[in-house]
Chains A and B, each alone.
Chain A
Amino acid sequence: METLTSPLAGLRARGIALGGAITVYLLLGGGAVFLLVGCLQSTRFAQLTVSGLAVGAAYGSLALALVLIYRATHVINFAQGELAMATTYIAYQLIQWGLSYWEAFAATLAIAFVLGTALELVVIRPVQHRSVIAAVIVSVGLFILIDGVVNWIWGGGIRFMQSPFSGSYDLGGVNIQHLYAGMLGVVLGCVLLVWALFRFTKLGLGMRAAALRPAAAALAGVRVDWMLALGWGLAAVLGAVAGMMYEPSQLLLTPTFMQEALVYAFAAAVLGGLESPGGAVVGGLAIGVFLNLLAGYLPQVVSLEVPFAFAVLLAILLVKPSGLFGRREVSRV
Chain B
Amino acid sequence: MRGRLPALGSIAAVAVLIAVLPFTLSSYNVSLVAQVGIFFVAVLGLNILTGYSGQISIGHGAFMAIGGYTSAVMSRDHHTNLIVTMLMAFAICFVLGLLVGLPALRLSGAYLALATFALAISVPQLPLQWSTFLGGTGGVQSHTTVSDRWIYGAAWSCSAILFLLAWLILRGRVGRAFRAVRDSEIAATASGIELSLYKTLAFGISAAYAGVAGVLFVMATNGFAQPTEFGIILSLQILIGAAVAGLGSLWGILAGAAFVGLLPQVSTSVPVIGSDHGRDVVFGLMVVLVMLALPDGFAGLLARLRALVRA
Seen from chain A, the residues whose Cβ lies within 8 Å of a Cβ on chain B are 70, 74, 76, 78, 123, 126-127, 130, 132-134, 136-138, 140-149, 151-152, 156, 263, 266-267, 270, 274, 301-307, 310-311, 313-314, 317-318, 321, 333
Contacts and interface: CB of A to CB of B under 8 A. Distances in A.
Contacts of B123: 307
Contacts of A307: 122-123, 125-126
A140 B239 contact: yes
Given A142-B288, A152-B274, A317-B107, A147 B128 contact: no
B271 interface: no
Interface in B236-255: 236, 239-240, 243
B111 A136 contact: no
A191 B117 CA distance: 27
Contact of B128 (A141, A143, A303): A303
A143 to B, nearest CB: 7
Contact of A148 (B58, B129, B283): B283
B50 A152 contact: no
23 contacts: A78-B236, A132-B109, A140-B239, A143-B284, A145-B284, A148-B281, A151-B276, A152-B274, A152-B281, A263-B121, A266-B114, A267-B118, A274-B110, A274-B114, A303-B125, A303-B128, A304-B125, A307-B125, A307-B126, A310-B119, A314-B103, A317-B107, A318-B106
Given A140-B239, A141-B284, A151-B280, A132 B110 contact: yes
Contact of A310 (B121, B240, B291): B121
B113 A76 contact: yes
A311 B125 CA distance: 13
B69 to A, nearest CB: 15
Given A76-B110, A333-B186, 16 more contacts: A70-B110, A74-B110, A136-B113, A141-B285, A141-B287, A144-B280, A145-B281, A148-B280, A148-B284, A152-B274, A152-B278, A263-B121, A274-B110, A274-B111, A311-B122, A317-B103
B6 interface: no
B295 interface: yes
Contacts of A141: 240, 284-288, 291
Interface in B286-306: 286-288, 291-292, 295
B277 A152 contact: yes
Contacts of B129: 301-304
Interface string B24-67: 00000000000000000000000000100000101000000000
B95 interface: no
A58 B110 CA distance: 23
B199 interface: no
Contacts of A149: 277, 281
A148 B292 CA distance: 20
Contact of B243 (A137, A145, A270): A137
B146 interface: no
B168 interface: no
A85 to B, nearest CB: 13
Nearest to B56: A133
A42 B123 CA distance: 35
A188 B101 CA distance: 39
B160 interface: no
A181 B117 CA distance: 32
Contacts, number: 133
Interface residues of B, number: 45
Interface of B: 50, 56, 58, 103, 106-107, 109-111, 113-115, 117-119, 121-123, 125-126, 128-129, 186, 236, 239-240, 243, 273-274, 276-288, 291-292, 295
**Pairs A-B, 3 closest by C-beta atoms:** A148-B280, A145-B284, A141-B287
Nearest to B184: A333
A156 B279 CA distance: 14
A322 B83 CA distance: 44
Contact of B58 (A136, A151, A318): A136
A206 B98 CA distance: 44
A299 B32 CA distance: 42
Contacts of B295: 127, 130, 134
A314 B118 contact: yes
A321 B106 contact: yes
B280 A147 contact: yes
Which one of B103, B106, B109, B239 has the greatest number of beta carbons of chain A within 10 Å? B109
B287 A266 contact: no
Contact of B50 (A70, A74, A133, A274): A133
